[in-house]
Structure 1
Amino acid sequence: MLSKIAPSAGKLLISEPFLSDPNFKRSVVLLADHGEEGTLGFILNQPSNLILKDLVPDLWEADYPVFIGGPVEVDTIHFIHRCYDKMASGEEIAKGIYWGGNFETLKILVNSNSIQPHEVKFFLGYSGWSPLQLDEEIEQNTWIVSGQYHPDVVFAHNEEELWREVIINLGPKYAHISNFPSDPNLN
């Protein structure tokens, strides 16, 4: 078993290099909730072709990128942020990282340019696991769990390099994985 860290809110899930599921290939998932009822998280490095104002018309200046949070309920919008001081709402899932909050307040802050793209990240849908499903996938080495990362990683817009960067950040034991090709036949 690669990962010795238990999944919990605020931890990152890093897919193993050869995961063939197109929803999670080379993905980094921020866990927002993990408990008896299951697990919920958001893929941090799967941008969509949409920007926020495409989805919410009354956010007329919102050129914020929208990410694919996962394959579940892709007709819903979710967000994480690091501006509790401005929002006064949201559930802290990691030090300085909040999930959700008052969307009406967020819209006012976005329209008044009081929040910048590096402070908030939007997702279509989410990633979900039934009770014990994620634990089984971790046991099968599908995921590495990490709790060591800088909050800037969560809000970064270097999607293509994020998976590799997070793997390298795990230390020498895992760094070699970052150089594996996405298709083992190319080796």
Structure 2
Amino acid sequence: MEAMREQEDDIRPGRLLVATPILADPNFRRSVVLVVDHGPEEGTLGVVLNRPTEVAVGQILPPWAGLASGPDVVFQGGPVGMDSALALARLPGTDEPLGWRALDGVPAVARIGLVDLDGPPSLLADGIDGLRVFAGYAGWGPGQLRSEIAEGSWYVLTAEPGDVFAEAPGELWKAVLRRQGGDLAFVATYPEDPSLN
């Protein structure tokens, strides 16, 4: 129970919400969500990192197509606001170009932040080494996510800089759990459909 309390208190930007096998909601089943914003009054906002679509970034945001990391498709960031887009970018150095804002509370070493998609891509072209575009986002009202964690729907885990730009996003759920070791590494082997075992 103490470990669960520590998890609940550790919701903050830059952390991962990893769906437990009991989470059956199709929007979040086996999802890995990066927390982008969190506050006790505002609630929590994040993006699902492992739901690539088949839509190329160039089809939606042509000016940004050349900067998108592979796979260079739009990701389904969550079920809310599917008609809007947000992007995350990684900086290789210490300079912070115009049009990029660090995620609050994320260690500077991660150098991952939000991109202003209304600005010209040329402001960032030479200053980033990874860009991912998300359609929609995941959102929880005040207290809602804590309640879901207490019910056993989410693990709250440490993100690694490569998680946002995973080259095989479909394998991210298993990869994040495996690297935890112990019981969580075992959870990574949980079958897609336990009734088939």
Q: Which residue, 116, 127, 137 being the options, matches 1:101?
A: 116
Q: Deviations over 1:83-137 (max 9, x none)?
A: 27363331334231112336414x2257xx6467x51111000000011000000
Structure 1: any 5+ residue segments left out of the alignment? none
The answer to whether residue 88 in structure 2 is matched with residue 80 in structure 1 is: yes
How many residue pairs end up in the alignment?
182
Shift of 1:77: 0.7
Query: 3-state DSSP class of the match of 1:7?
Result: coil
> Which residues in structure 2 correspond to 1:37-186 (within 5 Å)?
37-59=42-64, 61=66, 64-83=72-91, 85=95, 87-88=97-98, 89-93=100-104, 94-95=106-107, 96-101=111-116, 103-105=118-120, 107-108=121-122, 114=126, 119-147=130-158, 149-186=159-196
Distance 1:34 1:50 in 2: 29
**Counterpart contact for 1:52–1:62, Cα < 8 Å:** no
Distance 1:82 1:58, change over 3 A: closer
Distance 2:65 2:145 in 1: 38
Using the aligned pairs only, state the percent identity: 36
Query: 3-state DSSP class of the match of 2:46?
Result: strand
> Which residue of the partner structure matches residue 27 of structure 1?
31
TM score, norm. by length of structure 2: 0.82
**Counterpart contact for 1:18–1:183, Cα < 8 Å:** no
Distance 1:103 1:169, change over 3 A: farther
Q: Where do 4+ consecutive residues of structure 1 move more than 6 Å? A: none
Q: Which residue, 13, 18, 22 being the options, matches 1:14?
A: 18
Cα RMSD over matched residues? 2.2
Distance 2:196 2:190 in 1: 10
TM score, norm. by length of structure 1: 0.86
Structure 2: any 5+ residue segments left out of the alignment? none
Distance 1:51 1:62, change over 3 A: farther
Q: Which amino acid aligns with 1:52?
A: V
After superposing the two structures, state which structure 1 stretch, 75-84 or 1-10, moved more: 1-10
Shift of 1:82: 1.1
